[in-house]
Structure 1
Amino acid sequence: MKNPKIPKPTIKRLAVYYRCLENKKINGIQKTSSKDLADSLHIKASQIRKDLSYFGEFGKRGVGYDVDKLMNSIKIILGLDKKWNVAIIGVGNLGAAIANYTGLEKNGFFIKAAFDKDKSKIGKQVSAGVLVYDMKDLKKVCKQKKIDIAILSVPASVAQNVAEEIVETGIKGILNFAPISLNLPDKISVENVDFTISLKALTYDIVSNIGNIELKD
């Protein structure tokens, strides 16, 4: 069950902390502190301590955190101690690129199937061992392969209808790359990814750093 008291930005930052800890472990670092993590991530140490406090006590004052133990705790909190079966819905350029991204398996996410309506793609492999199925077989194949998460990479015009089909399979989580907000039951977890919004936020930062923004009619 989701805890409504824990802000979503906190969960996202936990994933960033985990990645930072991974890098420290690779570099042979066994101990760290909120200040050390904050310096690495360019955020406030108080923010890190606050985020971790939602889940209990970690580390000791004046001693810091054991990198392995903190990594393991965050791993369990985020559900990364499990393996997740994933299906890609929409095998265009983006869907195909995601299917071939090797970083997914390293983090416990395994692409088990892909779906499309394009008959020229159905029956072919989008990546090694990942077959493209007809959308009409979505429910049957998802149940057979025990899919946990759907990655939605279809045009905005059909995204809502396709998302409703995904809900009918019993899948509880959708990573949505379509540039549209989905209207789905509260029990369905949706994470929206929109590159254009991130780019617009980036351009704001650029012009803000330049300064002296002149607004024109």
Structure 2
Amino acid sequence: MKGIGIPATTIERLPLYYRSLQKLDKQDVEVISSKKLGERLGIPSTQVRKDLSYYGEFGRRGVGYEVSVLIKQLEKILGLNTNWDLALVGAGNLGHALLDYHGFRKLGLNVNYVFDQDQEKIGEDFNGVEIKDVEKMEEIIKEEEIKIAIIAVPAEAAQEVADRLVAAGVKAIWNFAPVYLQLPEDVKLKNEDLSIGLVGLTYHLSDYWSDK
């Protein structure tokens, strides 16, 4: 299976390498060392080399990595050499903000399907995408063979939505609902709890640490 034996932290760093290399390519940088790449991201050069070594030998000792070549390799590893159609469930404020983010399309990630249960929203143009009735979700996902979905619904509805997405053939879910989802092992889940992220910041500013 893809990714077996590769640390989750390594996989999470790959998009950071990719984004940094894209910026370097726009600056016409042709070659970069692991040290310089690591410095841009606050990562030791040894970690950069170790992360990339899981996928092959891309650099040359004493020279570094060819930026354009490594970009193409990372695109293949990350699946960005293919255009992906995504389904977004939830046409509220958060869903609108996600659909308004143009960075997805630059990566070949196209949110072309939006579903909601609010009858007043169905049929409306949602940043260029027509909002469809959530009751038609399974039918459309199966017909269009959509494999990636974003959940941006209230917590109480998230598990049911996830179950329906999985039953329709979705294999990867990006969950913004503040709730733990139970999914089959073959379905990849990425949770994005915004409140937890903020609490992680307040932890460092708490009175507990200021008294130490």
Calculate the TM-score normalised by the size of structure 2: 0.95
- Gap runs ≥5 in structure 2: none
Q: Look up the match of 1:139.
A: 138
Q: Look up the match of 1:12.
A: 12
- Gap runs ≥5 in structure 1: none
The SS at the match of 1:191 is strand
Report the number of matched residues. 212
- RMSD between superposed Cα atoms in Å: 1.6
1:159-178 aligned at under 5 Å gives the runs 159-178=158-177
| One-letter amino acid of the counterpart of residue 101, structure 2 | Y
Q: Look up the match of 1:60.
A: 60
Give, in whole Å, the separation in 2 of the partners of 1:205 and 1:105: 35
| One-letter amino acid of the counterpart of residue 213, structure 1 | S
Q: CA deviation at 1:197?
A: 1.8
Q: CA deviation at 1:212?
A: 5.0
Q: Look up the match of 1:200.
A: 199
Q: Look up the match of 1:150.
A: 149
| Structure 1 residues 104-159: Cα deviation after superposition (integer angstroms, max 9, x where no partner) | 1111001111111100111111111x111111111111123332210000111111
1:1-217 aligned at under 5 Å gives the runs 1-128=1-128, 130-206=129-205, 213-214=210-211
The SS at the match of 1:111 is strand
Give, in whole Å, the separation in 2 of the partners of 1:195 and 1:146: 29
Percent identity of paired positions between Structure 1 and Structure 2:
42
Q: Check the 8 A contact 2:33/2:65 in 1, yes or no.
A: yes
The SS at the match of 2:210 is coil
Q: Rate the CA distance shift 1:185–1:212 in 2: closer, same or farther, 3 A.
A: closer
The SS at the match of 1:142 is helix
Q: CA deviation at 1:199?
A: 1.4
Q: CA deviation at 1:45?
A: 1.0
Q: Check the 8 A contact 1:87/1:113 in 2, yes or no.
A: yes
The SS at the match of 2:149 is strand
